[in-house]
Structure 1
């Protein structure tokens, strides 16, 4: 039996073992809080509008559709139809778009190794929107209801590859190059949208304006059926790449020594980002800054590990967009504000703060 004097070192067996239990507890609590807040927000969003429906009746209608005889049904004669034809599709679409944009932002930040990377800032959303608007003006229908999503995917993929290639210098991505490339791509995309508005008819112009402002108005189950599998595929691919993203954060050389094929991983994740962005903008237009704000807020609690960051960002992104869409529908009576405008009002100042913070921490542009 070892005797420890006040001046002798503590035996190895008696020293406390470092543990990540506090961080795991915080992460579990955060996920539980986010999921609970998302469920409450979804019910509140479904029950809010010109026809107000109590939360208990919203929940009762949902449970009855699942075959569970629990809770009251809507008392208003049009309440059930309003929920299932208008409100629920819009809430589900908000969840899908928010989750897709948040995960795409987190993945882009990991791929570029840059805290300023986000689909709308570097022009990926704009490129996808231009391709989708082109399909509208040209009347393309080669893939049926998937035509707009396919065109948006191609536009987002081409834009992402262009940004990736132009922002690389000497084996690394520079902050200033990334931002300036995004500015240039957004300018070209804005010009393209303006040209399409000039060439299109009145209906096409209205749809292009819809793209520029972003809105969940008009969401229907058939659109959800197109967006949902794309978002599910993109998020699943992102989650499966979480460990590789963690290794990439150590540096390219270290990641290669640990068995990561860096360029192959980057190209694969660029395609995943394009897929998620295309799914988000295909029917809802450009919704900016969700992919920038959400991952940073989540990272402050969970840390940089992508195996926790990605699922937490997914739930948080869905929550943010559900709340934003609720505000878009209720802040002004009898009006539906563009949701992209609301997210930009919050995300713009956050981006400015992050830009200055990154510059200070890097000791200048790097």
Structure 2
């Protein structure tokens, strides 16, 4: 497999940076507040403000009825925050991997991490391996880390960390763990467990709780910070390893660091909510069209756009067929495909 040309080579003139940043943050804030009120039981901005005010110790604020308070604070708010964090993490991973591999189709699941997580979840759900201590999320995280360990072992050979080798080894690891998951389901799964696992694999934010949100928030912020520190190196890598090396970039060390960062971000995201596809593919391309290829801007704006995209997609998944909830991964594909085609058309590639 030959390396693709850089995903973007000519900077674009976009909106003024201050205006774009202010608008992006405002859009995310409004999206978070609005999405909390969307669902089978309506809850407006007033209910959200009252729930937050009571939790932060404001006096003179009348608490919400217990049932509504639990709905808003224990279910809706963690779910919306988890959607924003996972969307940001997946978008950042896609942005990084598209530069590291010089492959415009790279996404967070390129390294086979999601297949490892799926196999780990299947081992817990179907075989009961560590069910009492791990749970589905813990099993998925363990499977993701095991698959990354296999990836690292395979990449330690004499072939180096060139982009084509990373892609090929990632595909092999993904296929290996996908086959293991299918083997587990075929050998020991029944209709109910297979249906439950399939629903999880398509992505669901319904189980998001505050402890998981806290873990995801720490990992996402650290990962975004690490990727942002490598923005200059990513700019150079987008033009090839030889060019980056000539500019003084330690290509092997930077690739190793960024592979670890994207693997950990993907592992935590998939373990928290399942494998939600298309966010890490479509968002970087859309943001690159707006702000250009410089990763100093591309990374933070991709995180903001990924957060907004998944918040609204999850809100759509909650209400589209209410009271039945559709896995959010279904809607990320349904919404993402036409958006991706639109971006390609605007760039003259379709």
User: Shorter-chain TM-score: which interval?
Assistant: 0.7 to 0.9
Answer whether contact 1:131 1:154 (CA < 8 A) is retained: no
Answer whether contact 1:281 1:287 (CA < 8 A) is retained: yes
Q: Does 1:50 align with 2:40?
A: yes
Deviations 1:146-166 (A, max 9, x none): 843641441452476589799
1:312/1:282 CA distance change after superposition, 3 Å: same
Unaligned runs of 5+ in 1: 1-19, 362-366
Partner residue, 1:193: 181
How many Å apart are 1:241 and its aligned residue? Answer: 1.4
* Alpha-carbon distance in structure 2 between the residues aligned to 1:186 and 1:355: 27
Aligned residues: 336
How many Å apart are 1:30 and its aligned residue? Answer: 2.3
Give the secondary structure class of the aligned counterpart of 1:94.
Answer: helix
Q: Does 1:239 align with 2:233?
A: no
1:164/1:119 CA distance change after superposition, 3 Å: farther
Deviations 1:74-129 (A, max 9, x none): 4x552212111111111111111111100010010111112111023664422332
TM-score normalised to structure 1 length:
0.78
Partner residue, 1:3: none
Unaligned runs of 5+ in 2: 1-10
Give the secondary structure class of the aligned counterpart of 2:275.
Answer: coil
Partner residue, 1:67: 57
Counterparts of 1:98-109 in structure 2 under 5 Å?
Answer: 98-109=87-98
1:206/1:226 CA distance change after superposition, 3 Å: farther
Partner residue, 2:7: none
Deviations 1:299-319 (A, max 9, x none): 111110111111111111111
Answer whether contact 1:50 1:334 (CA < 8 A) is retained: yes
* Alpha-carbon distance in structure 2 between the residues aligned to 1:144 and 1:171: 36
Partner residue, 1:28: 18
Answer whether contact 2:111 2:263 (CA < 8 A) is retained: no
How many Å apart are 1:138 and its aligned residue? Answer: 4.4
* Alpha-carbon distance in structure 2 between the residues aligned to 1:292 and 1:143: 34
TM-score normalised to structure 2 length:
0.81
Partner residue, 1:110: 99
| Structure number with bigger Rg | 1
Answer whether contact 2:75 2:209 (CA < 8 A) is retained: yes
Partner residue, 2:252: 263
